[in-house]
C-alpha cells in the first residue's frame, strides 16, 4: 500500500514537472495558435465590416457584393459601388470599426458604361440557360 502511494505521488510530480517544462518552451502548436488567433482577429474584423455594409438598407445591392479583406488589422475595400456617396459611406463604416488609418478604400464608382455592360451581362446570363435547354430538345 505504501509503495502504491509513492508511485502515485511520483507520477504526479512527473506530470507537474512536464507541464511546467511545456509552459516554459512553447512548441510549434503554440506558434500556430498565435497565428490562428491573428487571422481570427482579421476575419472577425472583416465580418463586422461586412455586416455593417449589408445591414444598411440605404446602400445599393452593389455594396453587398464588394470585397472586404482584413490583413494585419487593416481593411481593404475593393469592387464596384453605385456612386461617390456610397463609396464614402462604406469607407466611413469600415473606419468606424477599424479606425481611419486602417482602411484602404479602393472602391470604384460604377459609370454609365460599366452599368450598361453589367446589365447586358446579366441579361445574357439569364437567357443562356433557356437557350441551352431549347437546343437540347
pLDDT in tens, 100-127: 999 999 999 988 666 666 667 767 777 7
Q: CA 10, CA 14: separation in Å to the nearest integer?
A: 6
The neighbour count for residue 17, using CB atoms within 10 Å, is 10
pLDDT band at residue 99 using 50, 70 and 90 as cut-offs: very high
Higher-pLDDT residue of 119, 48: 48
pLDDT value at 66 more than 90 = yes
In the chain, what are the domain boundaries? 30-110
Q: Is 59 exposed, middle or buried (0-12, 13-18, 19+ CB in 10 A)?
A: buried
**CATH code reported for the domain at 30-110:** 3.30.1340.30
Q: Pseudo-torsion of CA 102, 103, 104, 110, nearest 10°? A: 180
The answer to whether the predicted template modeling score (pTM) of the entire model surpasses 0.95 is no
Report whether pLDDT(70) > 80. Answer: yes
Backbone angles phi, psi at 100, to 5 degrees: -55, -40
Amino acid at each position: 500500500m505504501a509503495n502504491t502511494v509513492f508511485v502515485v505521488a511520483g507520477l504526479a510530480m512527473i506530470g507537474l514537472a512536464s507541464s511546467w517544462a511545456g509552459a516554459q518552451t512553447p512548441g510549434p502548436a503554440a506558434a500556430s495558435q498565435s497565428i490562428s488567433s491573428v487571422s481570427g482577429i482579421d476575419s472577425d474584423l472583416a465580418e463586422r465590416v461586412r455586416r455593417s455594409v449589408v445591414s444598411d438598407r440605404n446602400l445599393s445591392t452593389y455594396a453587398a457584393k464588394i470585397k472586404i479583406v482584413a490583413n494585419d488589422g487593416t481593411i481593404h475595400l475593393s469592387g464596384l459601388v453605385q456612386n461617390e456617396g456610397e463609396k464614402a459611406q462604406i469607407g466611413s463604416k469600415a473606419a468606424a470599426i477599424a479606425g481611419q488609418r486602417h482602411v484602404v478604400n479602393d472602391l470604384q464608382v460604377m459609370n454609365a458604361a460599366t452599368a450598361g455592360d453589367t446589365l447586358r451581362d446579366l441579361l445574357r446570363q439569364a437567357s443562356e440557360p433557356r437557350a441551352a435547354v431549347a437546343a437540347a430538345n
